[in-house]
Structure 1
């Protein structure tokens, strides 16, 4: 994982983004935020198991489905299966070491 601080690549309203093998963070202080970094590392694992490009295709499609379902951007985002898995396990610092393949399916 390569950790890069940049305010220009992160969409408005977000603090970070994982794009294998990089984790981009908007604020320098987030480099030290272990929960935040763990959340992004979970996304890196998800991206690897879906061979990166299919992850982003799935992510966008599921976001659009959730947006139709919830009619609110923030609720749609929080209910994407990849985000649900990452938020549910971000405080478990051993999660990425012990995570089974395809675990995000449990969060659909």
Structure 2
């Protein structure tokens, strides 16, 4: 009788660890998974709108980069420290002014800039 009970008992004890591994994700893992799935569902409309916007703005941005890219690279090479400048201001006539901060050190130009008669 003891042998009859011992075989199923040993089989049950050996299969317990295998069953524990097949349980699936823990509650924390499942909660995180549900959270990210919900987040993706909430973000889907915004991502669709962003894709439409990029589709519309793409050609204009490409043209801007083609036309202004080399000029911007030249400007970036000349300015050594952007922290010395204030945020750009757009004037009513469309001019963009980037002023040096009042407390920034004086700069001695490498070359004398030509004077322009106005």
TM-score, reference length from structure 1? 0.26
| Structure with more helix by fraction | 2
Q: Which has the greater radius of gyration?
A: 2
TM-score, L = length of structure 2:
0.25
Q: Which has the higher strand share?
A: 1
